[in-house]
């Protein structure tokens, strides 16, 4: 968690800030963020603008340049609002437009660093007048516990009228120049036809039968992947290289780092998750902070709320977003082993995931200091990332003086997959000038 606040005075210079009190032992984020320069990025709604679509004749007059690796901004500079509007309206690339969806979300970014850490501060306005800290639950129907709540693009919501319940998120991809074209085309390299909620979604049976994705990785759907992990020119989801070839690319650093701060599944324990993208979107080695709250053998939840600590053992739909109640089941704070004989009534609800800080470990637990607070319609997230996590096998290791490419995304208003808002790739300089300059604090 955050070190105690120290009286640091920040004096802005061109590319660096030289800050007060040198010689203090522990690293700390800037105590006065108002002295750190800020930048407002326009994140636009991308719809189904996949790697394959961008290289199809539908992407008018742009195919050749896109294939050659030209940057998106070389043609689309300052067009975020226009692009976003085209897609939220359903004119192109969005089969299920969401009424009132924002074409663009403005993400305010501030960055600072010392010798150990990169400190980031983010702010963005949410569409809803409440914090997106709820996530799907198990609901007791009088007999069984069944899932309730889905992301808004799920057909249970737009077709069957089921409730949209999904956490808000802020995510980052990072590359250090090892992934070809990431600096130019960023997140759009990872997003492909065949993936969840994209065009020509791969069926669960197809994925389960796939030698690498199904048989080895035990996956049932297609998520993000990088072109280098595929063998054909179309970069098809099923044309994977061998596990050995992919391991060699990974060992050479040819993956992008990907991490999510999550309103329900990480923020309640002051963390963000940690993963990477190569042949799939995978979590880092070790244990992440959230797990499915389900005991397969007993066919029931693992945990319920501890009534002795929070005054209730479950929630109901009308209490799901009560800001006075804890938003998540936290093992070390408010959870008790599930009791099947606790007198459950129809409509009782228990979170589908539980969260634990002490249970997270290894490289998957690197983002141990990421906290968001929501007030007056706005999230403010403070995120500390070690420059060198000590886990080069699945993290990008950063150095003072280095420049890296970041992609940012916000998931707002009960959404997942393509329903997020995405930034163009941005250069981030650690104490050196870039599109986003992390200023030096000592």
Tell which one of 60, 218, 296, 308 touches ligand HEC (CB under 6 A): 60
C-alpha dihedral sign at 361, 366, 371, 372: negative
Q: Does 72 bind ligand HEC (CB under 6 A)?
A: yes
Contacts to ligand HEC from residues 77-136, by CB under 6 A:
83, 86, 92
Instruction: Please report how close the Cβ of residue 73 comes to ligand HEC at its closest, in angstroms.
Output: 8
Q: How far is the CB of 184 from ligand HEC (least distance, A)?
A: 7
Stretch that binds ligand HEC, among 71-79, 197-205, 356-364, 406-414 (CB under 6 A): 71-79
For 53, the enclosing helix (H) or strand (E) is helix 51-54
Closest CB to ligand HEC among residues 31, 52: 52
In the set 5, 9, 21, 75, which binds ligand HEC (CB under 6 A)? 75
For residue 163, give both structure tokens: 């409730």
d(CA 272, CA 408): 14
Q: Does 76 bind ligand HEC (CB under 6 A)?
A: yes
Strand-strand pairing, 353-355 and 329-330:
parallel
Question: What's the min distance (Å) between Cβ of 124 and ligand HEC?
Answer: 21
Q: Contact with ligand HEC (CB under 6 A): which of 16, 171, 185, 414?
A: 185
Q: Which stretch binds ligand HEC (CB under 6 A): 74-82, 208-216, 257-265, 351-359?
A: 74-82
DSSP conformation class of 280 = S
Are 94 and 346 within 8 A, CB to CB?
A: no
Tell which residue, 276, 42, 259, 43, has the closest CA to residue 169.
259
Please report which residue ranges of 278-352 form alpha helices under DSSP H: 307-310, 331-334
Which region, judged by CB under 6 A, interacts with ligand HEC, from 55-63, 329-337, 341-349, 377-385?
55-63
Of 7-15, 69-77, 275-283, 428-436, the window that binds ligand HEC (rule: CB under 6 A) is: 69-77
Identify which of residues 56 and 291 has a Cβ nearer to ligand HEC in the complex.
56
- Which of 16, 49, 363, 423 forms a contact with ligand HEC (CB under 6 A)? 49
Nearer to ligand HEC, 59 or 442 (CB): 59
> Residue 161: what are its φ and ψ, rounded to 5°?
70, 20
Chain positions 192 to 251 lying near ligand HEC, rule: CB under 6 A, are: none
CB under 6 A: which stretch of 70-78, 117-125, 140-148, 351-359 binds ligand HEC? 70-78
Minimum CB distance to ligand HEC, residue 54 (Å): 5
CB 422, CB 411: distance < 8 Å: no
Torsion (CA) 80, 226, 204, 155 in degrees, nearest 10: -10
Q: What share of the chain is helix, strand, coil (3-state, %, to 5)?
A: 20, 30, 55
Round the CA-based radius of gyration of the chain to a whole number and report it.
Answer: 22
Q: Does 345 bind ligand HEC (CB under 6 A)?
A: no
Nearer Cβ to ligand HEC (45/150): 45
Going by DSSP bridges, is the β-strand pair 104-113/436-440 parallel, antiparallel, or unpaired?
parallel
Backbone angles phi, psi at 353, to 5 degrees: -125, 155
Q: Using CB under 6 A, count the residues that bind ligand HEC.
A: 18
Give whichever of 54 and 165 is closer to ligand HEC, judged by the CB atom: 54
Q: Give me the sign of the Cα torsion angle 424, 429, 434, 440.
A: positive
CA atoms within 13 A on the CB side of 161: 0
Query: Any contact of residue 309 with ligand HEC (CB under 6 A)?
Result: no
Per CB under 6 A, does 50 bind ligand HEC? no
Record the tokens describing residue 89, joined without a space.
């309206």
In the complex, which residues of this chain contact ligand HEC (CB under 6 A)? 49, 54, 59-62, 65-66, 70, 72, 74-76, 83, 86, 92, 185, 188
């Amino acid at each position: 968690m955050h070190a105690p606040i120290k009286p640091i005075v920040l004096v802005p210079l061109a590319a660096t800030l030289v800050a007060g009190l040198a010689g203090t032992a522990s690293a700390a984020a800037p105590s006065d963020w108002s002295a750190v320069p800020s930048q407002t990025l326009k994140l636009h709604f991308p719809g189904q603008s996949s790697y394959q679509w961008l290289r199809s004749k539908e992407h008018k007059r742009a195919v050749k340049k896109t294939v050659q690796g030209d940057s998106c901004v070389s043609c689309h500079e300052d067009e975020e609002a226009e692009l976003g509007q085209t897609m939220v309206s359903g004119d192109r690339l969005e089969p299920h437009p969401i009424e009132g969806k924002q074409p663009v979300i403005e993400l305010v970014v501030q960055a600072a660093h010392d010798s150990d850490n990169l400190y980031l501060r983010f702010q963005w306005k949410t569409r809803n007048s409440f914090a997106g800290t709820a996530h799907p639950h198990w609901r007791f129907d009088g007999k069984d516990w069944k899932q309730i709540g889905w992301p808004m693009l799920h057909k249970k919501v737009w077709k069957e009228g089921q409730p949209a319940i999904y956490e808000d998120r802020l995510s980052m991809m990072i590359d250090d120049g090892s992934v070809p074209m990431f600096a130019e085309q960023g997140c759009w390299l990872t997003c492909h036809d065949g993936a969840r909620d994209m065009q020509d979604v791969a069926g669960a049976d197809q994925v389960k039968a796939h030698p690498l994705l199904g048989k080895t990785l035990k996956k049932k759907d297609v998520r993000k992947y990088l072109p280098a992990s595929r063998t054909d020119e179309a970069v098809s989801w099923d044309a994977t290289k061998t596990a050995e070839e992919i391991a060699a690319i990974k060992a050479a650093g040819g993956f992008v780092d990907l991490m999510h701060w999550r309103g329900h599944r990480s923020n309640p324990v002051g963390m963000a998750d940690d993963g990477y993208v190569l042949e799939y979107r995978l979590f880092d080695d070790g244990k992440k902070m959230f797990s499915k709250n389900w005991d397969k053998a007993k066919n029931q939840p693992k945990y319920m709320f501890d009534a002795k600590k929070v005054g209730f053992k479950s929630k109901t739909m009308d209490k799901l977003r009560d800001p006075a109640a804890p938003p998540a089941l936290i093992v070390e704070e408010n959870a008790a082993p599930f009791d099947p004989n606790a007198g459950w009534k129809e409509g009782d609800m228990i979170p589908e995931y539980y969260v634990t800080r002490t249970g997270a470990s290894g490289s998957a637990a690197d983002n141990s200091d990421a906290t968001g607070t929501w007030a007056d319609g706005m999230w403010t997230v403070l995120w500390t990332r070690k420059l060198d996590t000590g886990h080069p096998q699945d993290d990008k290791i950063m150095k003072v003086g280095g420049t890296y490419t970041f992609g940012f995304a916000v998931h707002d208003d009960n959404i997942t997959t393509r329903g997020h808002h995405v930034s163009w790739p941005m250069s981030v300089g650690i104490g050196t000038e870039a599109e986003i300059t992390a200023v030096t604090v000592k």
